[in-house]
């Protein structure tokens, strides 16, 4: 194979990744890599294409070939380690090799920490990141990653310790203050965020960012009088993030009519996904028929009992339990009283996970094919339906007694889900609708008396599919274990 032919294949692979046409390009690159033999780049591209298709066993083999041919290539070493981590095979040694080749690459360091976490060495990952941050206090993504790890391991009081240490040494660094405030807001520690904002203003002066975070925090704390002048100060900012915070405040203070024009201003923009969940609330409160257009068609929700399409549920539950390494919920997720797995679940290569993914793809295709007719204005009905099913995320959640999901939405998804793998017995659960899924009821923190549009009873092997913009949560249950798998179907390219 000539250098020109190899370069043309690389360009084709890059275009396929950009356009979502990996299915066509993957066999071409795999065949070319095998023919060329010693071309590490073609093996790398083959691995990347198969990774995009969630074919991680093939991707892992391709990257292993590439790494043997180019042992000094840092990007190939990182890709090899990353694919191994996603596939669910030991990846720490591969990350050590990648770190040796690119010691200053923050993404490689994050991957190594994730590999440590996956191998039940979370405390070691925390110590290593903390030591790196002591040497590099301005590494903002590192602070955020360390805070997340500490929170997941139950060390809430220490979650922001690296920020505080860095600020003590560099009190004039605005970015450190903003990172601290952002982390506290993600953790819903709104009082602590307000205290940090006051200290930040004293150290580095005010900013629109601090005004917005304080406005949001005060509103979430129920301090409407303090939040209002801060929101007014931000009225001139044409920004979707500002709009979402302002809309939440208006809904919380009983001014849905005032929120409507602000919401609708964003619905024809690329930022509409962030505002559609609030359009559903505001239209419902106003009795606007657009609510029925957005969320009222029963075909938008499917309840599918997958039965023998799934691997044995007891074995699947056993595999999933082995992936729950955290001791507490994620910093910025909806889980309350439980844990969530780390990394994309459907990229793992355990036979049970592969079989699970296959059953899920079948169910999503069935749901997609029965949706109402295409509507270019509708967030769920506008996307094309002739593309392969892709996932924007996949994970497992394990809830214990009194555990539940706070009502939330999934702005990165098109179709979201809940698949029930293990459930408490009837006596444990608590009776009634304890543990049930709720659809259409907004977050309790908004203070709105809107009941769910629908509730769904969990059953082992039952899959529920619904629009990602639809508010959803669960009712707490009394005792026992509730194990689920969840995922977001990505909007088609």
Query: What are the backbone angles phi and psi of residue 484, rounded to the nearest 5°?
Result: -130, 165
Q: Which residues make Cβ contacts (< 8 Å) with residue 409, sequence separation at least 6?
A: 277, 468, 469, 470, 471, 472
* Alpha-carbon dihedral angle through residues 105, 111, 117, 123, given to the nearest 10 degrees: 0
Of 327, 8, 362, 348, the C-alpha closest to 155 is 327
Burial of 348 (0-12, 13-18, 19+ CB in 10 A): buried
Contact present, 473 and 438 (Cβ < 8 Å)? yes
298-489: CATH number: 2.60.120.620
Distance CA 354, CA 343 (A): 15
Contact present, 412 and 333 (Cβ < 8 Å)? no
Distance CA 68, CA 81 (A): 13
Give the model's pLDDT for residue 4: 87
Which structure tokens are listed for 458?
């969990």
Give the model's pLDDT for residue 370: 97
Q: What is the pLDDT of residues 181-210, one digit of tens each?
A: 999 999 999 999 999 999 999 999 999 999
Is the pLDDT assigned to residue 493 strictly greater than 80?
A: no
Q: How far is CA 192 from CA 166, 188, 247, 368, 475, in A?
A: 18, 9, 23, 44, 28
Q: Which residues make Cβ contacts (< 8 Å) with residue 331, sequence separation at least 6?
A: 147, 148, 151, 152, 159, 183, 186, 187
The percentage of residues in the chain with a pLDDT greater than 90, rounded to a whole number, is 89
- Strand 482-489 vs strand 335-340: parallel, antiparallel, or unpaired? unpaired
Give the model's pLDDT for residue 331: 83
The radius of gyration computed from the CA coordinates of the chain, to the nearest angstrom, equals 24
Of 91, 126, 134, 130, the C-alpha closest to 111 is 91
- Scanning the structure block, which residue is given the tokens 């909806």? 334
Which structure tokens are listed for 349?
């290569």
- Indicate the pTM of the whole model: 0.94
The percentage of residues in the chain with a pLDDT greater than 70, rounded to a whole number, is 100
| Residue 23 confidence class, pLDDT cut points 50, 70, 90 | very high
Is the pLDDT assigned to residue 1 strictly greater than 80?
A: no
The continuous run of DSSP H or E covering 214 comes out as helix 208-220
Measured distance between the N- and C-terminal CA atoms of the chain, rounded to whole angstroms:
32
Of 335, 351, 451, the C-alpha closest to 403 is 335
- Strand 415-422 vs strand 302-305: parallel, antiparallel, or unpaired? unpaired
Q: Is residue 387 classed as helix, strand or coil in its secondary structure?
A: coil
Give the model's pLDDT for residue 490: 95
DSSP 8-class letter at 71: T
The continuous run of DSSP H or E covering 168 comes out as helix 161-169
Q: How far is CA 181 from CA 45, 175, 188, 335, 489, in A?
A: 40, 10, 11, 21, 31
Query: What are the backbone angles phi and psi of residue 331, rounded to the nearest 5°?
Result: -65, -35
Distance CA 47, CA 66 (A): 9
Q: What is the pLDDT of residues 268-303, one digit of tens each?
A: 999 999 999 999 999 999 999 999 999 999 999 999
DSSP 8-class letter at 347: G
Is the pLDDT assigned to residue 336 strictly greater than 90?
A: no
| CB neighbours of residue 230 within 10 Å | 20
Distance CA 136, CA 152 (A): 23
Q: What is the pLDDT of residues 418-447, one digit of tens each?
A: 999 999 988 888 889 999 999 999 998 899
Q: Which residues make Cβ contacts (< 8 Å) with residue 417, sequence separation at least 6?
A: 360, 463, 464, 465, 466, 485, 486, 487, 488, 489
Of 463, 469, 484, the C-alpha closest to 414 is 469
Contact present, 415 and 470 (Cβ < 8 Å)? no
Strands of 391-405's sheet, edge to edge? 302-305, 462-467, 415-422, 482-489, 391-405, 335-340
Is the pLDDT assigned to residue 330 strictly greater than 90?
A: no
Contact present, 79 and 105 (Cβ < 8 Å)? no
The DSSP string of 105-152 is: -HHHHHHHHHHHHHTT-HHHHHHHHHHHHHH-TT-HHHHHHHHHHHHH
- Mean pLDDT, residues 471-481: 93
Domain boundaries, the chain: 298-489
Which structure tokens are listed for 84?
């191994």
Rounded to 10 deg, the angle between the 92-101 and 106-118 helix axes is 160
- Mean pLDDT, residues 23-32: 93
Distance CA 120, CA 148 (A): 16
Which structure tokens are listed for 40?
């590490």
| CB neighbours of residue 284 within 10 Å | 21
Contact present, 39 and 69 (Cβ < 8 Å)? yes
């Amino acid at each position: 194979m000539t250098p020109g032919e190899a370069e043309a294949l690389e360009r084709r692979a890059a275009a396929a990744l950009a356009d979502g046409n990996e299915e066509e390009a993957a066999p071409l690159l795999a065949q070319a890599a095998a023919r060329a033999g010693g071309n590490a780049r073609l093996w790398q591209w083959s691995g990347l294409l198969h990774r995009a298709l969630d074919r991680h066993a093939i991707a892992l083999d391709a990257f292993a070939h590439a790494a043997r041919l180019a042992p000094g290539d840092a990007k190939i070493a990182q890709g090899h380690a990353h694919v191994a981590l996603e596939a669910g095979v030991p990846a720490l040694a591969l990350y050590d090799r990648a770190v040796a080749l690119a010691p200053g690459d923050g993404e490689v360091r994050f991957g190594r920490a994730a590999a440590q976490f996956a191998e039940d060495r979370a405390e070691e990952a925390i110590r290593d990141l903390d030591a790196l941050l002591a040497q590099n206090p301005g590494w903002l993504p590192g602070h955020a990653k360390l805070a997340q790890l500490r929170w997941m391991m139950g060390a809430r009081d220490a979650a922001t310790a690296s920020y505080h240490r860095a600020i003590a040494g560099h009190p004039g660094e605005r970015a450190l203050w903003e990172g601290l405030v952002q982390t506290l807001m993600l953790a819903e520690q709104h009082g602590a965020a307000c205290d940090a904002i006051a200290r930040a203003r004293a150290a580095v002066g005010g900013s629109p960012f601090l005004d917005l975070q304080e406005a949001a925090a005060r509103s979430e704390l129920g301090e409407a009088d303090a939040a209002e002048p801060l929101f007014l100060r931000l009225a001139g900012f044409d920004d979707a993030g500002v709009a979402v915070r302002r809309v939440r405040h208006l809904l919380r203070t009983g001014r849905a009519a005032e929120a409507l024009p602000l919401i609708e201003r964003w619905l024809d923009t690329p930022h509409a996904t962030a505002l559609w969940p609030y359009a559903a609330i505001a239209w419902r409160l106003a009795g606007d028929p657009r609510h029925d257009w957005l969320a009222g068609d029963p075909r938008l929700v499917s309840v599918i009992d997958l039965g023998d399409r799934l691997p044995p549920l007891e074995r699947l539950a056993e595999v999933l339990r082995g992936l729950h390494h955290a001791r507490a919920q994620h910093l910025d997720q909806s889980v309350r009283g439980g844990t969530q797995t780390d990394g994309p679940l459907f990229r793992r290569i355990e036979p049970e996970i592969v079989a699970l993914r296959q059953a899920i793809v079948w169910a999503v295709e069935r749901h997609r094919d029965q949706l109402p007719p295409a509507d270019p204005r509708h967030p769920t009905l506008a996307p094309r339906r002739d593309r392969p099913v892709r996932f924007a995320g996949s994970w497992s959640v394990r809830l214990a007694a009194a555990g539940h999901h706070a009502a939330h939405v999934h702005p990165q998804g098109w179709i979201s889900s809940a698949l029930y793998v293990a459930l408490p017995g009837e006596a444990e659960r608590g009776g009634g609708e304890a543990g049930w899924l709720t659809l259409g009821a907004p977050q309790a923190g908004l203070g709105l008396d809107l009941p769910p549009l629908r509730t769904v009873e969990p059953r082992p092997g039952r899959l529920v599919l619904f629009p990602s913009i639809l508010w959803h949560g669960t009712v707490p249950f009394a005792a026992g274990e509730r194990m689920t798998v969840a995922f977001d179907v990505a909007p088609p390219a």
